[in-house]
Amino acid sequence: MRRTIIRTIFAAVLGTTIAAGGAAQAQMPMAAADTTVVLGQPLTLNLGVPPAGTDCATQAATLNAQALVLVANGQTIPGARASFGCSAKGELVGTASTSIAGNGDDAAQRRAAWQTAFSGFFSLAGAKSLPVAFGPATGGMTTAPKMVSIQGASDRDLRLAAIWFALVAALFLFAFFRHFGRTDAITPIAGVPMPANYRAPYSLARFQLLWWSGIVTASYVAILTITGSMDTITTGTMALMGIVGGTSVLAAFQDRRPSDDDTRRHQHAAAYLAAAAATPPDQTAMAASLAEVYPPSQGLLPDLLSDAAGYNIHRLQLLAWTGVLGITFLYEVTRTLGMPELSANLLALTGISNGTYFGFKMQEQQVPTPTGTA
């Protein structure tokens, strides 16, 4: 029910008719062993006619009393309770849920079990044939396995998840390039006009914050679309966002505290005013001083990787590690249909990387010393 409601809300925002599609799926017949089963649909196995002398109804009742669950590729699926009955032909039939939706530990255990059954990677792009049987919740198999074609998510869910992921990612990209990715520490100086259409340099700390905020938010929405689970944020992900957010706060504080850069900016401002007061005004000196009072953006990578002295290794290491870990994070999301639980070592390395960046940032010089100034 939760999953249907969530999909209906998403469909309304996108202007599609997902509600009708959800109703059609609810009326879909149970998948048999010779059809492709999408996780979330019930899976039905035809176990054949019971041995001679055994009544089908009696055999079904016996299996129902054993509280068997689904076993996929040798992996017991917790909570996938099987029910048994008889077809019109007197064949024994077993049915179990393949749902991976929901919140809480039970749902997380089901998703983890299915991930293991898929050999560590959810089969999202296409179906995968797996041996499926029924067995005790404690492990093992009671019925003979049958090969079943299983897919991790429906094509419709994948398309919807991709749309939502792209929309959220585009929103954060727009926010970064439009305004929020640039430093706001460069304030006007009286008597020195800010150039028209001035664009401040990009900030590495802001880039990192928006990079991770975009990845986590887009991944969360995509996972929610496919699984219907709202409880997918791991402790490691929260710790990672804490490290990134803390670095952004410290970097903003450092940019706003009084520093030698402020003194150098005012020296350049004085040079600008002197050149403007000359007869005739020294336009070349005015332009040179103005560019130092209000340092313009040099482009995305130069802004992220350099200061007044040139390119810096501490900025490069932070940008490289942020990119590598972000790509790895997205890979794990597609592999597990969940947020990765980052290890203590990864978080420690991220903290060291951010701490190194901030330590060197405190010593950076963003405004060059005016010529002729001691």
Which distant-in-sequence residues (6+ apart) come within 8 Å of 239 by Cβ?
Answer: 342, 347
| Residue ranges per structural domain of the chain | 31-152, 158-361
Let me know: does 137 contact 78? Beta carbons within 8 Å: yes
* Element of type H or E holding 188: none
- Of 63, 204, 234, nearest to 133 (Cα)? 63
pLDDT tens-digit profile, the chain (374 residues)? 444 444 444 444 433 333 333 333 333 334 444 588 988 889 999 999 988 778 999 999 999 999 999 999 999 999 999 999 999 999 999 999 998 887 777 888 888 899 889 887 776 667 889 999 999 999 999 999 999 999 888 888 889 999 999 999 999 999 999 889 999 888 899 899 999 889 999 999 999 999 999 999 999 999 999 888 888 888 999 999 999 999 999 999 988 888 888 889 899 999 999 999 998 999 999 999 999 999 999 999 999 999 888 999 999 999 999 999 999 999 989 888 888 889 999 999 999 999 999 999 998 888 888 875 54
pLDDT at 121: 73
CA atoms of 304 and 291, how far apart (whole Å): 18
DSSP state letters, 21-35: HHHHHHTPPPB-TTS
List the structure tokens of 173: 């990209």
Q: What is the pLDDT of residue 28?
A: 34
pLDDT value of residue 372: 58
**306, β-bridge pairs:** 311
| CA 241, chain centre distance (Å) | 12
Output the pLDDT for position 122. 72
Please report how the helices 2-14 and 18-26 are oriented relative to each other, as an axis angle in degrees rounded to 10: 150
Assess contact for 263 and 257: CB atoms under 8 A: no
Q: How many H-runs (helices) and E-runs (strands) does the chain carry?
A: 12, 9
pLDDT of residue 34: 55
Tell me which amino acid residue 218 is. Answer: A
The fold adopted by the segment(s) 31-152 is Immunoglobulin-like (2.60.40)
CA distance 85 to 310: 75
